[in-house]
Amino acid sequence: MTGRLFIIAGCSGVGKGTLLKLFLEKNPDIKLSISATTRKPREGEVNGKNYFFISKEEFIADVNNNEFLEWAEFSGNYYGTKKSFVEKTLNKGIDLILEIEVKGAKQVKEKMPDAIGIFIMPPSVETLETRLRGRHTEDEETIKKRLLEAKREIKAGQHFDYKVINDDLDEALNNLQKIFDTERNNLC
């Protein structure tokens, strides 16, 4: 049996990375896809672990070689998921998570309608801004761009199969776990 594909999306700063780290510690049999990006690494980020950090030229060559299952421009950088990795992982029967933004999520759903889309919602736009600023990883211009993207993303999030509000972290983690448990036990 092939693995199941889960898509996790949500605005920058909503807590996707935080939730996924905890979730994957509890669910070591589920894999997280590592994307390619033209964004510069943040302090502490490791090539091949957090992302494959590549140049714009390399990214465009990969697009032209049809290597991406999906890709998108987000806040001035390119991000993409390698098709070969997704296919190999699912063919081994391993469940896989793509942590991607909403334009990429739409492309995946079109190509793989069985993929399960989960959108992480902030409790409020104000809280989102506080979290994004509190992370201290982006400059002011990038924060503004990401907050603008957030409004568009929250609208697109309405079309996802599931929504999880990340207010209290433990509660959000429990809700995420319930969704995965339900979908992974659903054999049809």
Give me the residues that bind ligand 5GP (CB under 6 A), please: 12, 35, 39, 70, 72, 74, 79-81, 99-101, 103-104
Selected binder of ligand ADP within 4, 82, 106, 131 (CB under 6 A) = 131
Q: Is residue 35 within 8 Å of 67, Cβ to Cβ? A: no
Binding partner selected for residue 90 from ligand 5GP, ligand ADP, none, CB under the kind-specific 5 to 8 Å limit = none
Choice between 82 and 131, CB closer to ligand ADP: 131
Binding partner selected for residue 122 from ligand ADP, ligand 5GP, none, CB under the kind-specific 5 to 8 Å limit = none
Binding partner selected for residue 74 from ligand 5GP, ligand ADP, none, CB under the kind-specific 5 to 8 Å limit = ligand 5GP
**Counting Cβ atoms within 10 Å, is residue 6 exposed (0-12), middle (13-18) or buried (19+)?**
buried
Binding partner selected for residue 15 from ligand ADP, ligand 5GP, none, CB under the kind-specific 5 to 8 Å limit = ligand ADP
How far is the CA of 166 from the CAs of 20, 75, 125, 173, in angstroms?
12, 22, 12, 8
Selected binder of ligand ADP within 37, 107, 166, 175 (CB under 6 A) = 166
What is the C-alpha to C-alpha distance for residues 6 and 32, in angstroms, rounded to an integer?
Answer: 9
Eight-class DSSP state of 145: H
Dig out the tokens for 54 from the structure: 């590549």
Strand, helix or coil for residue 131: helix
Binding partner selected for residue 117 from ligand ADP, ligand 5GP, none, CB under the kind-specific 5 to 8 Å limit = none
Question: Does residue 13 interact with ligand ADP by CB under 6 A?
Answer: yes
Nearest approach, Cβ of residue 63 and ligand ADP (Å): 24
Strand, helix or coil for residue 155: helix
Question: Does residue 18 interact with ligand ADP by CB under 6 A?
Answer: yes
How far is the CA of 38 from the CAs of 52, 77, 111, in angstroms?
9, 6, 24
Q: Which residues are near ligand ADP by CB under 6 A?
A: 10, 12-18, 131, 134-135, 166, 169, 172
